[in-house]
Amino acid sequence: MENENMDMTTVDTVPPTSTVDSAIQKEPPALVKKIGKMTYIVRVHFSTTSKETFTDKVNRLLRQEVRQLMEQEAAGK
């Protein structure tokens, strides 16, 4: 899978007709990826009530990953 072209196509499932429609789409955008004979469609959803920004979330996940790696390293010594 390393050498496979992982180029994804973004497809808007509902084309906006006005600025109001673009803000409130009926269906979220989708990523479409064809691998062999199988086509994968991935829809993205973001919570409207979340208080955590994308940057905050990525930083939290990175801190958690580093913490886990440090714990594994300490347990191995």
What is the span of the domain harbouring residue 71? Answer: 48-77
Co-location of 39 and 15 in the same domain: yes
User: Which pLDDT tens digit goes with each residue over 22-62?
Assistant: 555 567 778 899 999 999 999 877 788 989 988 999 999 99
Co-location of 40 and 61 in the same domain: no
Co-location of 30 and 54 in the same domain: no
Co-location of 38 and 16 in the same domain: yes
Number of domains within the chain: 2
Co-location of 40 and 53 in the same domain: no
DSSP code, position 8: -
∠ CA(14), CA(16), CA(19), 5° rounding? 145
- Predicted structure pTM score: 0.42
Q: Could you tell me if 30 and 15 are in contact, meaning their C-beta atoms sit under 8 angstroms apart?
A: no
Q: Rounded to whole angstroms, how far apart are CA atoms 72 and 52? A: 28
